[in-house]
Structure 1
Amino acid sequence: MAKRILIVDDAAFMRMMIKDMLTKGGFEVVGEAENGVKAVELYQELKPDLVTMDITMPEKDGIEAVKEIKQIDPNAKVIMCSAMGQQMMVMEAIQAGAKDFIVKPFQQDRVVQAVEKLLK
C-alpha cells in the first residue's frame, strides 16, 4: 500500500510541485493544507504516514503546527520545507519534533529520499 502524505505549504505552486514529485516517487498525497491551522485539522482527520511542512505560513507557522501535531501523535513524521537562510528556524523545527528538512528549491531525488528514509 502506498504511504499516505499530507503536504502543507501556503504556496499552491509549491504544493503542486511537491505533490508531483511524491506521486512520481510512488507515494499517495491524501491532503493539502495552506497553513498550520488547516494542517493540524487535516492531520487529525486523515492520519497521514508523513507530513511535509513549510515553515513560514500565515495564521500558524510550521513550527507551531509541528508542536501541535506531535502533541496529538508523538510518533508523527514531519519533514520541514525551508528556504535558504532559515537555518535557525529549521533547528527550532527539529527541536519541536520535525524529523528532517528539505531546502527550496526542491530537487526531486532529495524530496523522495527524505520521505523514503522516514517511512522505512
Structure 2
Amino acid sequence: MARVLIVDDAKFMRMTLTNILQKGNHTVVGEAENGRKAVELYRELKPDIVTMDITMPEMTGIEAVKQIKAIDPQAKIIMCSAMGQQKLVVEAIEAGAKDFIVKPFDENRVLEAIHRVFEK
C-alpha cells in the first residue's frame, strides 16, 4: 500500500485519482494544485509516490520533478499527461519521472503504474 501525493491543478482530476487510489487500497497523504506546493508537501509528507500533472500554474510538473529529485534522488514520480503531450512526457522522464499515465484516467492503468513504480 503506497502513500501518494496527488498534484494537479484541476480539483476534479485530484478527486478522480483519489477515488481510484483508495479503491486500490492506497492512501492519499496530500494534494497540491501546483508544482511549488508539490515540492513543499513532498518535503513535509515524504510520500512513497507522487502523481504529477505536467501543465500547471506557478511551476510546471517538469520543474517540480527536478526540484523533488534534487531533494530526494530516490523519489518515485508518475507523470499525468493529456493526449498529445509526448514531448513533455519525454522531458519529464529525462528529469527523473518513473512512469506516466494519460488522461482521462483508466483505473487499471493508474493502479498498474502505482504498483510497478512502488515495487521497484
Q: Same fold (TM over 0.5)?
A: yes
Provide the secondary structure at the position in 1 that maps to 2:29: strand
Q: Structure 2, unaligned stretches of length 5 or more?
A: none
Q: Which residue of 2 aligns with 1:33?
A: 32
Q: Which residue of 1 aligns with 2:97?
A: 98
Aligned positions, number: 119
Q: Which residue of 2 aligns with 1:17?
A: 16
Q: Which residue of 2 aligns with 1:60?
A: 59
Query: In 2, Cα distance between the equivalents of 1:95 and 1:117?
Result: 18
Aligned residues: percent identity?
Answer: 69
Query: In 2, Cα distance between the equivalents of 1:24 and 1:48?
Result: 18
Query: In 2, Cα distance between the equivalents of 1:26 and 1:57?
Result: 27
Q: Which residue of 2 aligns with 1:117?
A: 116
For normalisation by structure 2, the TM-score amounts to 0.98
Query: In 1, Cα distance between the equivalents of 2:97 and 2:7?
Result: 13
Structure 1 segments (4+ residues) deviating >4 Å: none
Q: Structure 1, unaligned stretches of length 5 or more?
A: none
For normalisation by structure 1, the TM-score amounts to 0.98
Query: In 1, Cα distance between the equivalents of 2:95 and 2:18?
Result: 24
Q: Which residue of 1 aligns with 2:49?
A: 50
Provide Cα deviations, 1:4-35, integer angstroms capped at 9, x if missing partner: 00000000000000000001001000000000
Q: Give the C-alpha shift of residue 3 in structure 1.
A: 1.6
